[in-house]
């Protein structure tokens, strides 16, 4: 079993929809939770990170972490065609250690 | 601020040949990572450097893969000899903190 499991998708939604992307994990030592976006044939880019439990909002994006359930989510409000990409969750136990990535969920937002 | 640079962008080789990838991280970033990303999967860490030293190489197939980071800046990753299953995108990333990594565009390797 992988340390980080991500809903595989693919996910297709109409423009303006609210999107929910989810990951579960098994390592209770994880403290940092990140979401990366990867466009086709590009490297991942960091969207946002959260330390420990709680919510964090950045524009149309909201990250949630529930450590008690070992479950994290990324919500995208008012989704746009430009949000079409693969979204990767990643986790780390320290601010200097390695990050463990999920396998990504591919999202398509249709105009 | 310049991003992480990688070269080449694409490489096609035959199995049993050798190949090398180069990475130039963001200036001032002490930590450098090499990842392997197979189609449909997330990046898998191969090796992590902190300045010149190796922090984690537990998933590096050391019988065929090697990496070095000279003077704590540029890094090269080498595969010798390559196998078909090495076909993947090799990503280099750098960071000041593990939760904020900056990735290069990657090198797409095809082994035939």
pLDDT tens profile B20-32 = 999 999 999 999 9
Q: Is A62 on the interface with B (CB under 8 A)?
A: no
Whether the per-residue pLDDT at A73 is higher than 80: the answer is yes
pLDDT mean over A38-47: 96
What is residue B85's DSSP assignment?
Answer: G
- The DSSP result for B88-101, as a single string, is EEEEEEEESSTTS-
pLDDT class for A24, splitting at 50, 70, 90? very high
Instruction: Name which of B70, B87, B80 is nearest B24 in CA terms.
Output: B70
Whether the per-residue pLDDT at B98 is higher than 90: the answer is no
Whether the per-residue pLDDT at B1 is higher than 80: the answer is no
Q: Is A39 on the interface with B (CB under 8 A)?
A: no
Find the CB nearest A98 among B45, B97, B100.
Answer: B45
Are the Cβ atoms of A46 and B97 closer than 8 angstroms?
no
- Give the number of other Cβ atoms within 10 Å of residue A47's Cβ: 18
pLDDT mean over A50-65: 94
Q: Is A88 on the interface with B (CB under 8 A)?
A: yes
- Buried b / exposed e across B28-62, counting CB within 10 Å, b at 16+? ebebbbbbbbeeeebbbbbbbbeeeeeeebeebee
User: Which pLDDT belongs to residue B92?
Assistant: 98
């Amino acid at each position: 079993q992988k340390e980080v499991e991500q809903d595989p998708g693919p996910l297709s939604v109409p423009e303006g929809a609210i999107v929910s992307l989810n990951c579960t994990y098994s390592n209770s030592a994880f403290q940092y939770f990140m979401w990366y976006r990867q466009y086709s044939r590009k490297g991942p880019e960091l969207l946002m990170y959260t330390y420990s439990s709680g919510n964090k909002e950045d524009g149309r994006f909201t990250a949630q972490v529930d450590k008690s359930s070992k479950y994290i989510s990324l919500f995208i409000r008012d989704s746009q065609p430009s949000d079409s990409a693969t979204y990767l969750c990643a986790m780390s136990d320290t601010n200097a250690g390695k990050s463990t990535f999920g396998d990504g969920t591919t999202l398509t937002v249709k105009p | 601020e310049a991003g992480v640079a990688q070269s080449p962008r694409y490489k096609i080789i035959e199995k049993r040949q050798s190949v090398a990838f180069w990475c130039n991280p963001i200036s001032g970033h002490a930590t450098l990572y090499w990842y392997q990303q197979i189609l449909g999967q997330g990046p898998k860490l191969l090796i992590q450097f902190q300045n010149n030293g190796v922090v984690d190489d537990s998933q590096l197939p050391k019988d065929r893969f090697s990496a070095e980071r000279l003077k704590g800046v540029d890094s090269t990753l080498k595969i010798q000899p390559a196998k078909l299953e090495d076909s993947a995108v090799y990503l280099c990333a750098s960071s000041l903190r593990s939760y904020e990594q900056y990735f290069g565009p990657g090198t797409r390797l095809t082994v035939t």
